[in-house]
Amino acid sequence: MIAKMKKTVIAASRGQKDELLSSLRDLGVMHITDMISKSQSLDALEKERAEYDRVLQTLKERGGKKAKGGRTIAGDEFLSVHSSLVSMLAEEESLNGLLISLRNERERIFPFGEFDPEELSSLSEDGINIRIYLGNAKDEEALRADTGLQFIPVRYSGKGAAIALISGSIPEGSSFTEFRLPKKSLAQIDKEILEGENRLKEISAKVSEAAVYVPSYEAFLKRKDESITFERVSESVEGDDIIYLTGYIPEDDASAFKAYAKEHSLAYILSDPDDEDNPPTKIIYKGIVRIVKPVFDILGTVPGYREYDISSYFLVFFSLFFAMIIGDAGYGIIFILIGLYMQHKAKKCSDLNMLIYVVGAATVIWGAVTGTWFGSETVLYKLPFLQKLVIPSIANYPEVFGLDATYTQNMLMKFCFILGAVQLSLGRIINIIRKAREKDLSLLAELGWLIDVILLYFLALNLVIGEPCSIPVIAGGVGLGFVLVCVFSAQGPGIPFITGLKQGLAGFFTTFLDTISCFSNLMSYIRLFAVGMASLAIAQSFNNMGAGMQGPMFVIGIAVIVLGHVLNLVMGLLSVVVHGVRLNLLEFSGSLGMEWAGYNYEPFRKTVQDKSANNS
């Protein structure tokens, strides 16, 4: 459920600022609103944090297994290690740039072979100014005819020719251009490259060894994040002689907050949020429903404060949709085994583990009732007891039970539409119950939508699988629902009936489009059937490919089957995200009128233990 919030203003004298912030953080229940995100001090803290995080990421990348363990250091020892790492990484960056420059220079002068640039410089000091030119070999013959030039050929293994010009100047139009003389010989460059590479290896080894300090960096960054949050709150304090902070606290924590304010002699105001306010959302997960939290965390979806907590409904329908999309009992067993392995590695059963067990078990059940075990019909024939678990009317291998494939496919599609009608109707019923409690006349508009959903379900069955229905009755019922929506959708507490009627009728065209959208939402549940059948077809294809490889190819055939099922399983998981999650977060949530416009309740509180304080 979504916890009720109290709007809070707390005030103190300017001299109590530090005490107020420290004690408020220790209390850890107030969500501060309108926190400053930009200031000179914050920029400095963020820049400092980024430097430590850069080193941490480098240690994780290069440390391998060392980054997963290690020992914790703090205080001056930690700062000394960090300073050393920053220095080595800066040297490494500089060396990499230098090596690139040296290698480029080596490549440039390599065709001339080994020579000493200092000897050429000494000749220049003696008045012999020798310049090296590169050009086309054919142009060299033309230069020989020029009596004003004195040059000698130079050994050059690259393309073209090289000359050493002693006197004169190269005529215009010649392909020969002056070659910039190096400052170092080839031997010197090779020596520096070798020394640089050796130093890089040395630095790399030291950085890799330093990965044992990853836990220290992680602890330090947590402390640094806490300092940044404290600074943000400090910058957000308003007022001159009297300072104040605004925010929200959960209603259940109001008593603790009052006791805290009394103990510290602080003034405060607690009130219910106004309609214009936008409090944070704190979802309280109870019982088994908490296992769905990892899904919402991954998706990053948060309901608005005044919206619904659909966690329990999401868990039920998501598990069923997951099972229908994956569709194979064998795959369900794999998920359960993965969950057991994760639990064994972590030595505890997390919420994610429990979610994997639930969706895995649901997949096993769905695969069993449809007779699907690794996409193989042979399994049903070889293990007759599995046939007793199958519901023949929705079996994926109907010929085993003497049924027609068209019939079973129609029944599967009908089941998908039933799910759609149930879930969309549930959304409208929840709205009706809520509005009835609030004595909101717009509940009749929700009743109109409920009528539309039910009747459009029968229309969908008629259009898709040919079930007979009375078109006039459906048209009349949908028309009635349409009228109810137009007349009552804009009604509400405190709104005159005529005013609401005018607003509802003004949205006539929008309501018409929403009615069409209601039908398309219902039709979209057939994706459960389509994706499930596609997954089955892929599994069968790989089974057939592998089974066709006999004799010496048998091992390859097994590999094809295994890789095929792995690929199919991964594609199935992607389909769950695309389709299974969508039906809950768009179609179902849309029927509830949810926009997922909320943000998480994040109280101002301590995030690390005091023992790590010396890391900051």
Strands across the sheet containing 267-271? 31-32, 242-250, 5-13, 267-271
* pLDDT the model gives residue 68: 64
135 in a structural domain: yes
- Give the CA distances from residue 319 to residues 28, 322, 370, 434, 450, in Å, rounded to whole numbers and listed in that order: 35, 5, 16, 26, 25
Which residues, in sequence order, are bridge partners of residue 269?
9
Sign, Cα dihedral of 190, 195, 200, 205:
positive
Would you say residue 37 has pLDDT above 90?
no
Other Cβ atoms less than 10 A from the Cβ of 73: the count is 20
599 in a structural domain: no
Residue 615 pLDDT level (bands cut at 50, 70, 90) = very low
243 and 380 together in one domain: no
Residue 132 DSSP one-character state: E
47 and 92 together in one domain: yes
pLDDT digits (tens, 9 = 90+) for 81-122: 999 999 999 999 999 999 999 999 999 999 988 888 888 777
Q: Which residues have CB under 8 Å from 525's CB, separation 6+?
A: 416, 417, 419, 420, 423, 583, 587
The tokens describing 331, both together, are 């795959």
Report the mean per-residue pLDDT for the chain: 89
Final residue of a structural domain among 142, 159, 184: 184
Final residue of a structural domain among 136, 167, 184: 184
User: Is residue 512 a contact partner of residue 486, using CB atoms and an 8 Å limit?
Assistant: no
pLDDT digits (tens, 9 = 90+) for 505-554: 998 899 899 899 999 999 999 999 999 999 999 999 998 888 888 777 88
394 and 496 together in one domain: yes
What percent of the chain shows pLDDT beyond 90?
53
165 and 29 together in one domain: no
Would you say residue 73 has pLDDT above 90?
no
70 and 193 together in one domain: yes
CA 2 and chain centroid, separation: 24
Final residue of a structural domain among 184, 204, 224: 184
Phi first, then psi, for residue 43 (nearest 5°) are: -60, -40
pLDDT digits (tens, 9 = 90+) for 3-15: 999 999 998 888 8
241 and 328 together in one domain: no
455 in a structural domain: yes
361 and 441 together in one domain: yes
108 in a structural domain: no
123 in a structural domain: yes
pLDDT digits (tens, 9 = 90+) for 291-341: 999 888 888 889 999 999 999 999 999 999 999 999 999 999 999 999 999
325 in a structural domain: yes
233 in a structural domain: yes
157 and 95 together in one domain: no
Residue 614 pLDDT level (bands cut at 50, 70, 90) = very low
Q: Which range marks the domain in which residue 171 is found?
A: 115-184
Q: How many domains does the chain have?
A: 3
Cα angle 397-398-402, degrees, rounded to a multiple of 5: 135
pLDDT digits (tens, 9 = 90+) for 236-291: 888 888 888 899 999 999 999 999 988 888 889 999 999 888 999 999 988 899 99
368 and 384 together in one domain: yes
109 in a structural domain: no
User: Which pTM does this prediction carry?
Assistant: 0.78
435 and 336 together in one domain: yes
514 and 450 together in one domain: yes
Would you say residue 613 has pLDDT above 60?
no
pLDDT digits (tens, 9 = 90+) for 214-242: 888 988 999 898 888 888 888 888 888 88
**How many residues would you count in the chain?**
616
The whole-angstrom separation of Cα 438 and Cα 139 is: 97
Q: What is the DSSP pairing of strand 31-32 with strand 242-250?
A: antiparallel
* pLDDT the model gives residue 316: 94
349 and 390 together in one domain: yes
pLDDT digits (tens, 9 = 90+) for 554-590: 888 889 999 999 999 999 999 998 888 889 988 999 9
* pLDDT the model gives residue 388: 92
Would you say residue 69 has pLDDT above 70?
no
